[in-house]
Chain A
């Protein structure tokens, strides 16, 4: 009673979670487009995935710029005089730009039908695409004062989420192609299972110790945030699609696409909760 609390704002708002979601699918689709050069079953997805990935990169980039309070100064981050290489954001900006350039060259090669160049550029694009979830995860991990964010497994989780989201988007894009759906089912199953395992380990260690950790666990698992994180993210977006894919119906196109939709919804919820949940406690310090 009578306490005077100063409420602070969260640093990163929901726009950043949407960016995580968009850039994750973007990276996943890039992996699929690269995969089409290695696996014949993914061949029908090559162009669709490449165009989709580039479109999402543009959308994600615009989101990121719009989220800055000084949007027109986004060029500062590309100024070599200003760049601070101890910041993951600086590496991320370079990664995004490099990925954008390579993706564009890749699309040109695809349009011109230059197979050899396309294969090389697809490989380069996929490697740079791997950097996108890695840097976004690392972006959170470096904030060592925030429970959950500070786990070193965060970049791995974001890579697994990117593969899952990309495979889910791929399953929707693949339509009735049975060979592609069969392979994407495998990708979806294993990547979603990896997400589940990592989430269990994060939740376990978060609940294990430290006042801030335990309070963050409580915030993440109860109330509205609990509904988003556990209800939509873990139950509906991770456990349910795994169960669906393992069931007989999950071997058909409808099952894979339905599982893909669940994974996309769950991926969005997980990214939102992982971004916003651990910030709530800090606002009260």
Chain B
């Protein structure tokens, strides 16, 4: 992306003197072990029913040419994040050096406006009861492991990925691995039409998962059964 493509003042991609962290997810390397999801849960004690990162999959193709397609998902740490614009109290903000989109828990009023604004469903409401932390009833999300990155570590999900499907680094640094991968490979971002300039780049993402399909309009009762089974643990 050249500097001319920057539209909003909030964008920091290729801004001199600023870091802009990004993640490249090479779906060809993802084996669907969900270790990233587990590592994230362990890192943050994320409660049941919500996730900062998740790995949905779809079986695509027709027998015998079938494949399980994984699409690891997380907050896209957009360069022009609609959640930041939408938060009425500035509880969500973008860190200028690094581009992390973060949350001030003590300021969040729980209006869920940021959740509505996010095209990626990356935000969720924390439940009212948690065992080890008093942070409840506020919106939470992936932080790109800001606390680890500021200690020169990579995010927990990247650290644990056994296939090296997730690569993290500074996109404003031309010598970083993410810069190399983004420059050398055809990459995709989720819902580019929204103009959010996401900073999670996918290599080999499957259209069956990045686009809305007619699958979203399946038999409503079947969908509701699945949904209620999925949400059952919320009442535990």
Residues of A within 8 A of B (CB): 1-9, 11-12, 67-70, 73-74, 76-77, 79, 82-84, 86-90, 93, 139, 142-146, 211-212, 215, 218-219, 223-224, 279, 281-285
Contact = CB atoms under 8 A, between A and B. Distances in A.
Contact of A8 (B87, B110, B117, B121): B121
A64 B89 CA distance: 15
19 contacts: A2-B59, A12-B116, A69-B112, A69-B128, A70-B109, A74-B109, A76-B109, A86-B86, A87-B88, A89-B111, A89-B113, A139-B113, A142-B117, A145-B117, A145-B191, A211-B211, A212-B212, A224-B220, A282-B121
Contacts of B128: 69
B138 A69 contact: yes
A84 B89 contact: yes
Given A7-B226, A70-B109, A283 B121 contact: yes
A114 B91 CA distance: 44
B148 interface: no
A282 B111 CA distance: 18
Most buried by B among A1, A89, A146: A89
Given A4-B57, A211-B213, A143 B117 contact: yes
A87 B111 CA distance: 12
Interface string B202-236: 00000000011110110010000011001100000
Contact of B110 (A68, A212, A285): A68
A3 B59 contact: yes
Given A11-B112, A87-B87, A89-B113, A281 B212 contact: yes
Contacts of B117: 142-143, 145
B227 A7 contact: yes
Given A76-B107, A88-B86, A89-B113, 9 more contacts: A7-B231, A73-B109, A79-B89, A84-B85, A89-B111, A142-B85, A223-B220, A224-B220, A279-B116
Contacts of A77: 88-89, 109
B54 to A, nearest CB: 5
Interface of B: 51, 54-59, 68, 73, 82, 85-91, 107-113, 115-121, 124-125, 128, 137-138, 191, 194-195, 211-214, 216-217, 220, 226-227, 230-231
B59 A1 contact: yes
Contacts of A86: 85-86
B143 to A, nearest CB: 19
A84 B88 contact: yes
Contacts of B59: 1-3
Give 6 nearest A-B pairs by CB, closest first. A69-B110, A145-B119, A89-B88, A11-B116, A11-B115, A90-B88
B212 A211 contact: yes
Contacts of B54: 6
Interface-centre pick from B107, B212, B226, B231 (highest chain A CB count, 10 A): B212
B82 A145 contact: yes
Nearest to B121: A8
Contacts of B90: 82-84
Nearest to A1: B59
B56 A219 contact: no
A3 B90 CA distance: 38
A84 to B, nearest CB: 5
Contact of A284 (B113, B124, B216, B231): B216
Nearest to A13: B112
A8 B52 CA distance: 12
B85 A87 contact: yes
A87 to B, nearest CB: 4
Given A145-B191, A215-B217, A82 B124 contact: no
A215 B212 contact: yes
A46 B86 CA distance: 37
Contact of A142 (B86, B118, B191): B86
A212 B109 CA distance: 30
B216 A215 contact: yes
A124 B138 CA distance: 36
